[in-house]
Structure 1
């Protein structure tokens, strides 16, 4: 991994919101894997081997007259990522209970202190979807439960579940760098009962969970919801995010067909996180 080259796109976006959210969602669909939001717009990253000169053809916001979006491009070595995110990364506090921070931040006085080195992984708590999923974990009982964190990114949701006394957690991400990074963060937070895997929902087999957390893009969720339902224990809970408010009816319809019923949703800007029960 040390020789991996990333392409960095530095996007300026006006108006910043909801422009940045729309841009990130469309870039994610196009294959970009990591984002850093700032006061001007978004830094977006994709591995050079996955990049092509037509990568932005499907990014519709670039042709939307409501928004002004400009960008520049450069190559970035993976080992330079720490300097990039350290310059932009601020500690995130969720309610008055949880802080997600870097090792160089001062230790806070909260119940749940999570220390991560996100590097090239998504899921720091800065994005609305991760923030809301952290809210859901804080609001719900995890003690003694078996948990799946699907599309785990940095592993931050799995780590919070562990700190909330979950019995065992599986964290799965299809991206190799996320897998490696989550392993580092799990060790950093002394969460020995989190198992980290590289792959997708095909890894689940016959495993059963009391709680499944999945913060992934809408299309993957729609394909995988039936799989999640098969792997939930009776009275289990499924927490989903990675989509917009207007996507809830389609997501809920798919959940209903799989035997899951809507219970609650959170909203931050136009992003949502939704709880379904089995």
Structure 2
């Protein structure tokens, strides 16, 4: 699959506007983002790219800002090379989890080592939401637990859960690239108890889980919180991310309305990971 890399420069540059653009573009099929000093790079499949939609979005901010746009076609076979040269560096999470690519030659030794083959799927640990979710998982005892990874991206959260002793992991994503990548990454890390499904929360029926991880967009989370709550065992935990500090009240109200208890949150650069527990029913 071929992708467009869209470079967006913002003048004058503002962090909050970059965050807004990432959120808005994520709602219209852009799959991955890289923050730059003056803006961002956004990636979208060639088939889904809509130049008018991008122009209309940026035009809504034209009164106070100007934008510099560059478009580059990235062939799928070149994607690993792009990441190797520019973005994906070995990363240590929480002092005990190393995330690296197969092509990395030098890296520190850690208790957990996750190898991720970079592709267009979201989740190499470099984004704040992924790193916060990994940090939260590191603090939990997952031995013998059943885990669901919604919007699994590269499968990185489910892979760490398996390394921490989870009994079984189900990973779900709507994107075929993510499903393929999760299979490949599970194999790279010798993970045998992770199964992958293509789809969304409609796949959740009578199966119950002790932990659910969902690193997705705010609107998807709001829509799917009832399904997550229904799929949690009593006292099971839900970790969610992919939204901003200003979104916390909306998600908290919705979560509590479906039987979930707020047990805290973490923030990095205005991104949030929030944690809930299923009340006894």
Question: TM-score under structure 1 normalisation?
Answer: 0.93
Provide structure 2 residue ranges, at least 5 long, that are not aligned to the other structure.
Answer: none
| CA distance, structure 2, for counterparts of residue 274 and residue 68 of structure 1 | 34
Deviation at 1:64, TM superposition (A): 6.0
Kept in 1: contact 2:13–2:39 (CA 8 A): no
Equivalent runs, 1:1-278 vs 2, <5 Å: 4-13=1-10, 15=13, 17-57=15-55, 59=57, 63=61, 68-88=66-86, 89-105=88-104, 106-278=106-278
Q: Which runs of 5+ in 1 are unaligned?
A: none
In 2, distance between residues paired with 1:187 and 1:49?
29
Q: Any conservation in 1 of the 2:58–2:67 contact (CA below 8 Å)?
A: no
Q: After alignment, is 79-88 or 229-238 more displaced?
A: 79-88
RMSD: 1.8
* Counterpart contact for 2:242–2:273, Cα < 8 Å: yes
* TM-score, normalising length: structure 2: 0.92
Q: Secondary structure at the match of 2:239?
A: strand
Secondary structure class of the residue paired with 2:51: coil
Say if 1:87 and 1:30 are closer, same or farther in 2 by CA, change over 3 A. Answer: same
Whether the 8 Å CA contact 2:145–2:167 is kept in 1: the answer is yes
Residues 197-236 of structure 1: CA distance to partner in whole angstroms, max 9, x if unpaired?
A: 1111111211100000000000000000000001000110
Q: Return the offset for 1:180.
A: 0.4
> Helix, strand or coil: the match of 1:44?
strand
Contact persistence 2:2–2:75 (CA under 8 A): yes
Are 1:32 and 1:46, in contact at CA under 8 Å, matched by a contact in 2? yes
Within 2, Cα distance between the matches of 1:64 and 1:125?
33
Whether the 8 Å contact between 2:213 and 2:238 is mirrored in structure 1 is: yes
Q: Deviations over 1:162-184 (max 9, x none)?
A: 11111100011100001101110
Q: Could you report, residue by residue, the CA deviation over 1:229-276 in whole angstroms, capped at 9, with x for unpaired residues?
A: 010001100000011111111101111110001001000011100000
Matched-pair contact (CA < 8 Å) for 1:162–1:193: yes
Task: Give, in angstroms, the shift of residue 58 of structure 1.
Answer: 5.8
Counterpart CA distance in 1 for 2:259 and 2:275 is 13
SS in structure 2 of the partner of residue 25 of structure 1: helix
Q: 1:252 to 1:72 in 2, by over 3 A?
A: same
Deviation (angstroms), 1:67: 5.2
